[in-house]
């Protein structure tokens, strides 16, 4: 990636763009959001045991790693259109309604 957001270059993943907007909204609501770029912040990847282990076992294809409340939520991709609202509510601590 050429920038800290990863939203740049000739072909941008639309799920990345939309997920970046979700993260921005969450941050605006007071949710702690941390994003790291392997090319710009390699120490953050090396010092997180879960990230380091995933990279050692699966390689960089495991990225992005998305954590929620300290647990791996998704790996290797960004949330889809249908998954983003679920992630948003979970990040806010809203429980899914039982059907």
Domain ranges in the chain are: 14-91
How far apart are alpha carbons 43 and 56 in whole angstroms?
A: 15
Here the tokens at position 79 are 């949330």
pTM of the model: 0.81
Here the tokens at position 52 are 């380091």
As to burial, measured by CB atoms within 10 angstroms (0-12 exposed, 13-18 middle, 19+ buried), residue 54 is buried
Residue 93's Cα: distance from chain center in Å? 17
One pLDDT digit (tens) per residue for the chain, 99 residues = 455 455 556 677 889 999 999 999 999 999 999 999 999 999 999 999 999 999 999 999 999 999 999 999 999 999 999 999 999 999 999 987 654
| Exposure of 46 in the CB half-sphere (CA atoms within 13 A) | 5
Q: What is the pLDDT of residue 6?
A: 54
How far apart are alpha carbons 32 and 56 in whole angstroms?
A: 27
Class of the CATH domain delimited by 14-91: alpha beta
How far apart are alpha carbons 51 and 68 in whole angstroms?
A: 13
Q: What is the pLDDT of residue 99?
A: 45
């Amino acid at each position: 990636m050429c920038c800290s957001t990863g939203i740049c270059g000739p072909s941008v993943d639309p799920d990345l763009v939309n997920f970046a907007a979700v993260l921005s909204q969450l941050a605006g609501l007071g949710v702690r959001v941390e994003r790291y770029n392997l090319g710009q912040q390699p120490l953050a990847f090396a010092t997180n045991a879960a990230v380091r282990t995933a990279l050692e076992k699966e390689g960089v294809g495991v990225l992005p790693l998305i954590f929620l409340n300290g647990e791996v939520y998704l790996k290797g991709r960004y949330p889809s259109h249908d998954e983003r609202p679920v992630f948003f509510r979970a990040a806010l601590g809203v429980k899914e309604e039982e059907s």
